[in-house]
């Protein structure tokens, strides 16, 4: 949107006359002050203004004059570092600065009729800054930021080169997934038109996911698997948050299962199998949440039993904590719904074994520790009852022997 101002991309924020993060490394070189200090690695430390709405960042300095895009990248990198350090106040300041600077650069290029000269990297930074600020913005502002982020990343996609392709497409997939999630609260699935809109958002997200994975290097299987697993984690975490409709959740789970099965050495790679087992468990848990509390009946029972059983097969023999906890949960819940006391006891024992392995590492979550405690107490009670039965039998035998002797 050429010529837009800061207020159009900063919902809920006020326009400031002084540009808080308009950093100019070349100006800093020419007009050094006590706030501009070169660091040991040759980077330039710039403290733009001395008020609460500004932040000090480190600009890369390789000895050459920094371009506007380099400076922009420096601000955005600082924002990401602040987010990683769990410093939302600093992150928000730097993200606003990034967006403000992007607005200014775009406006200047538009006035000069040179928007076509802007590269994919500019629109990528612009889009991801908008996406990042949507993550910490007020809920009422989130959707507007996401729409703007999508538009900028679409522009980046149109201009992207091979080096930037994966990052742009991954970012676009993240934005479209979030758009689908934020739309869930306002879409009425009983309304055909709105349901179609919701389905379209999910389809757009899946399309971006597929396109992102398609640009990964097939001749580097380790990188392909690692980046793919990152995407699967993003998708599964969103589904597991229950922010999507059931149909959207099942669509994404199916996509993750199908796509992961096509990865190199999918059957032998324990990380891939763990992701697939997680798919099965999340699908199962969605069905389990619909269990009738009075009758204990669950919808699509056969599918549920099959899904939990498949999870056990996929996770068997994997001894990472994540896999063991998933394995234990699947075994425990399958034990709750299968027929046959013997099979139930086998599954409970399998769950206990998994949880104990994690417990031995000192990392068992509280809810599972409570299950173990209850299970072991129940076993102790059963043993005590058996002992009483044995004593009763002994008394009866003694009486019988005594009677016989008499």
Q: Check residue 382 and give its pLDDT.
A: 57
Q: Check residue 287 and give its pLDDT.
A: 94
Instruction: Please state, in angstroms and rounded to a whole number, the distance separating the CA atoms of residues 129 and 79.
Output: 9
Distance from chain centroid for Cα 342: 39
Average pLDDT value for residue range 339-363: 93
pLDDT tens-digit series, residues 115-171: 999 999 999 999 999 999 999 988 889 999 999 999 999 999 999 887 788 999 999
Closest CA to 215 of 155, 167, 174, 272: 167
Instruction: For 56-94, give one letter per residue: b (16+ CB within 10 A) or e.
Output: ebebbbeeeebebebbbbbbbbbbbebbeeeeeebbbbb
Closest CA to 74 of 50, 109, 39, 107: 39
Q: Check residue 398 and give its pLDDT.
A: 46
Angle between helices 321-337 and 366-405 (to 10 degrees): 50
- H/E element, 404: helix 366-405
Q: Check residue 139 and give its pLDDT.
A: 86
Collapse the DSSP code of 25 into the 3-class scheme (helix H, G, I; strand E, B; otherwise coil) and give the result.
Answer: helix
Q: Residue 1 pLDDT > 50, yes or no? A: no
Q: Check residue 66 and give its pLDDT.
A: 60
Q: Check residue 187 and give its pLDDT.
A: 55
Banded pLDDT at 253 (limits 50, 70, 90): very high
Q: Check residue 164 and give its pLDDT.
A: 86
Residues 6+ apart with CB under 8 A from 12: 137, 138, 140, 141
Q: Residue 40 pLDDT > 50, yes or no? A: no
Q: Check residue 64 and give its pLDDT.
A: 54
- Residue with the bigger pLDDT between 236 and 243: it is 236
**270: exposed, middle or buried (C-beta count within 10 Å: 0-12, 13-18, 19+)?**
middle
Q: Check residue 298 and give its pLDDT.
A: 87
Phi, then psi, of 130 in degrees rounded to 5: -65, -40
Banded pLDDT at 198 (limits 50, 70, 90): confident
Q: Check residue 312 and give its pLDDT.
A: 97
The mean pLDDT value of the chain amounts to 80
Average pLDDT value for residue range 12-21: 35
For residue 84, give both structure tokens: 């990683």
2-11, 52-61, 87-96: range with lowest mean pLDDT: 2-11
Average pLDDT value for residue range 269-298: 93
What is the number of helices (H) and of strands (E) in the chain? 15, 3
Instruction: Please state, in angstroms and rounded to a whole number, the distance separating the CA atoms of residues 127 and 133.
Output: 10
- Can you give the length of the chain in residues? 406
Cα–Cα distance list, 362 to 191, 352, 355 (Å): 50, 15, 11
Most confident of 160-169, 190-199, 340-349, 372-381: 340-349
């Amino acid at each position: 949107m050429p010529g837009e101002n800061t207020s159009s991309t900063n919902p809920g924020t006020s326009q400031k006359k002084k540009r808080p993060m308009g950093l100019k490394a070349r100006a800093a070189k020419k007009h050094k002050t006590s706030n501009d200090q070169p660091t040991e690695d040759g980077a330039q430390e710039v403290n733009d203004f001395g008020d609460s709405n500004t932040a000090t960042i480190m600009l890369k300095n390789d000895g050459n004059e920094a371009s506007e895009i380099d400076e922009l990248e420096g601000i955005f990198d600082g924002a990401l570092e602040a987010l990683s350090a769990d410093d939302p106040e600093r992150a928000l300041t730097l993200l606003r600065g990034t967006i403000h600077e992007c607005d200014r650069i775009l406006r200047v290029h538009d006035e000069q009729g040179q928007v076509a000269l802007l590269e994919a990297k500019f629109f990528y930074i612009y889009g991801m800054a908008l996406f990042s600020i949507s993550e910490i913005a007020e809920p009422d502002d989130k959707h507007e930021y996401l729409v703007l982020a999508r538009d900028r990343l679409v522009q980046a996609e149109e201009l992207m080169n091979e080096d930037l392709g994966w990052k742009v497409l991954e970012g676009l997939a993240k934005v479209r997934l979030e758009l689908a999630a934020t739309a869930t609260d306002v879409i009425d699935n009983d309304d055909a038109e709105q349901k179609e809109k919701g389905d379209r958002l999910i389809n757009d997200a899946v399309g971006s996911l597929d396109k992102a994975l398609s640009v990964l290097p097939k001749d580097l299987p380790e990188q392909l698997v690692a980046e793919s697993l990152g995407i699967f984690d993003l998708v599964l975490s969103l589904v597991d948050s229950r922010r999507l409709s059931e149909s959207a959740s099942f669509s994404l789970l199916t996509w993750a299962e199908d796509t992961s099965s096509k990865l190199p050495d999918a059957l032998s790679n324990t990380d891939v199998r763990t992701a697939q087992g997680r798919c099965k468990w999340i699908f199962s848990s969605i069905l389990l949440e619909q269990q009738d509390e009075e009758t204990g009946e669950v919808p699509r029972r056969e599918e549920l039993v099959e899904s939990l059983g498949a999870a056990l097969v996929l996770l068997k023999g994997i001894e990472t904590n994540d896999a063991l906890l998933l394995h234990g949960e699947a075994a425990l819940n399958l034990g709750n719904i299968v027929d046959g006391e013997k099979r139930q006891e086998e599954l409970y024992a399998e769950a206990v074994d998994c949880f104990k392995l994690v417990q031995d590492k000192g990392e068992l979550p509280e809810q599972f520790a409570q299950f173990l405690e209850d299970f072991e107490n129940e076993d102790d009670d059963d043993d005590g009852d058996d002992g009483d039965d044995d004593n009763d039998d002994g008394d009866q035998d003694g009486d019988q022997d005594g009677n016989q002797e008499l």
